[in-house]
Amino acid sequence: MSPLKKIDWSLYLVADTEFAAGRDLVRLVREAVLGGVTTVQLRAKDLGTRDFLELASRISEQLGKLGVPFLINDRVDISLACGTAGVHLGQDDMPLADARRLLGPDKTIGISVNTLEEAVEAQTLGADYVGLGPIYATTTKDTDLPIVGAEGIRRMHKLIDIPIIAIGGINAGNAADVLRAGAAGVAVVSAILGARDARQAAAELLKRGEKRGQVSTLDKKVKC
């Protein structure tokens, strides 16, 4: 991995516009980062291109000031327009090879996976990390994919060398278990965006992870 792509994956916020339900997502992201979020992904499946770009630009400006890596879900064009750290792609999105050709070698590309086979293929094709899930049952994303569980993380950790970011039903009560299983970080939506206080929720998640001895503190974040 290029030095430009060294990212602290410990606490990964998926800033989902649909889940935000009209609230000021820029403010929520900022509060979450001040609480300890180390990486942010913007997911905006309900927005048209212009609105997506405008929101991404505003969040990119905030995160640039805070020194936090910013990834875009699905949309390589939005990432290019905003100059973000990279993209996160699903199994049905643009093929990784095409995204890499457009973004270049120093940008970060992550792939959503549910099986060992998908994870191995993602690594072989040059993904920088995989987003594995759902780990537990979740209501923030419609999916009929099977639950992976902590044991699925353990099995995958033995097969691939790139970071595994666990997502799906993760909260302060189970984050440490997920990290102990071998995940490089936890990705959350509702655990932060659904909380009354995004900053406090992020801090609590980070605290639980720190007890496991892997989650780094805010001042250890690496700029992408």
The conformation of residue 5, written as its DSSP 8-state character, comes to: G
Buried b (16+ CB within 10 A) or exposed e, 36-69: bbbbbbbbbeebeeeebbebbeebbebbeebebb
Q: Among 60, 112, 190, 216, which one carries the catalytic annotation? A: 112
Q: Is 220 considered catalytic here?
A: no
Torsion of the alpha carbons at 155, 169, 16 and 72, rounded to the nearest 10 = -10
Catalytic residue flag (residue 112) = yes
Q: What whole-number distance in Å separates Cα of residue 60 and Cα of residue 144?
A: 32
Distance between CA atoms of 28 and 211, rounded to whole angstroms?
Answer: 25
The catalytic position among 141, 199, 208, 221 is: 141
* From 5, 10, 30, 43, the catalytic residue: 43
83: CB partners within 8 A, 6+ apart:
60
Q: Report DSSP state, residue 126.
A: T
Cα separation, 36 vs 46, whole angstroms: 27
The yes-or-no answer on residue 43 being catalytic is yes
Q: What is the distance between the alpha carbons of residues 25 and 48, in angstroms, rounded to a whole number?
A: 16
Compute, in degrees rounded to 10, the torsion defined by CA atoms 176, 207, 28, 164. -30
Residues taking part in catalysis: 43, 112, 141
